[in-house]
Structure 1
Amino acid sequence: MYVRIFAAVWLLVCALLAVVAWGFQAPFSYDPVGPRAYPLLLLLLMAAAAVWLLVKPGEAEDLPISWSLARKVALFIGGLFAYALLFEPLGFVLSTALAGFGLGLLFNGRPLPSLLSGVLMGTLLYGLFDYLLDVPLPMGLLAILEN
C-alpha cells in the first residue's frame, strides 16, 4: 500500500515538475537540444517507473521500512542537495568527485575505491561534457588551471 501511495505522489510531482521544465528557455543557444531536454527526459523516466509501481508493485509491498534504510535515503537526498549547492562554487569536477566519494561510502564502499571512482567520475564526465558534447561546465576552484 505504501509503495502505491509513494508512486502516486511521485507521479504527481513528476507532472508538476514537467510543467515547470517545459518553460525553460535559454537567452542564447549554447546547447543544440536546449535546456529543457535533460530534465524532461529524467522526469519521463521517473514517471514511467512510478506508473510501473502503481500498476505492478511486485514484492515491494512486503519489504519492511527500517530506520537504517530511511537514514540512508535521507543521507542520499542530503548528499544530492549538497551537490547542487556546491556545484557552482567548487565546480563540476570537485563537486562530482565529492558526491561520488560520499555516496560510495554511503553504499558501504571502501574509502580508497570510493575516492578513486569519485575523482574518475568527475574528471571523465567533465571531459565528456566539455570536450565531446561541447557543454560548458563550471570550473569553480579549478579555474586557476585554465589557460
Structure 2
Amino acid sequence: MVFNDRIFGILMIVLAVAYGWGATQFPEPFGGSEAVGPETFPLLLAVVLGLSSLYMVVRPDPDNAWPWSRTGIELIVAVVVLVLYAMLLQPLGFIISTALAVGTLCWRMGSRPVKAYITGAVSGVVVYLVFSFALDLALPLGILSFLEVG
C-alpha cells in the first residue's frame, strides 16, 4: 500500500502549488508595503502542505490502506464541503460560508445539526472579528456587505 501514500502525496503537492499560486494572486493591499499581507497565511499553509506531502512521497507508510468504508465517504464529504467553501467565500462572504462549512463538518462528525450550525455561526463571527479588528486584515463580507463600517 506504499503506492497509495505516494499517489496521495503527489496530489497534495499539486494542491499545495495551486493553493500557493492562488495566494499570490490576491490584489495588493492599499499601501502595498506591509510585511504581512492577505497572502501570508495561505502561503504558509501551502509550504506546510507541500513539505508534508513531499515527506509522504519519500517515506510512505508501508501498512496504509484506503478507507473505503464510512470513513472514506466522510473524507470525500469533507473535501466537497471545503471545495464548496472556497467557491462560496466571495459571493456569500466569510461569515456565512464559514458558518455553513464549519456547521456541516461538525454535523458530519456527530454533533446535532442545531448545535453544529450554531458552532459554525459563532466561529464565523469570532474569526471575522479577530481578522478585521485584531489583525486588521479584510475578509469578504459578500451578501453581508451592508454591515461594513466606514
TM-score, normalisation: structure 1: 0.78
d(CA) in 1 for partners of 2:143, 2:15: 34
d(CA) in 2 for partners of 1:80, 1:15: 17
Q: Which amino acid aligns with 1:101?
A: G
Which 4+ residue blocks in structure 1 deviate beyond 6 angstroms? none
Show CA shifts across 1:12-59 (max 9, x none): 443465456556562634682234322221111101211232343346
Other-structure match for 1:123: 125
* RMSD over aligned Cα atoms: 2.8
TM-score, normalisation: structure 2: 0.77
Matches within 5 A, 1:4-15: 4-15=6-17
Q: 1:21 to 1:144 in 2, by over 3 A?
A: closer
Structure 2 segments unaligned to the other structure (5+ residues): none
More helix by share: 1
Other-structure match for 1:134: 136
Show CA shifts across 1:70-90 (max 9, x none): 322222222122212222232
Matches within 5 A, 1:48-63: 48-58=51-61, 61-63=63-65
Q: Which amino acid aligns with 2:122?
A: L
Q: How many residues align?
A: 146
Kindly, what percent of the aligned residue pairs are identical?
A: 30
Q: 1:27 to 1:115 in 2, by over 3 A?
A: closer
Aligned partners of 1:25 and 1:36 also within 8 Å: no
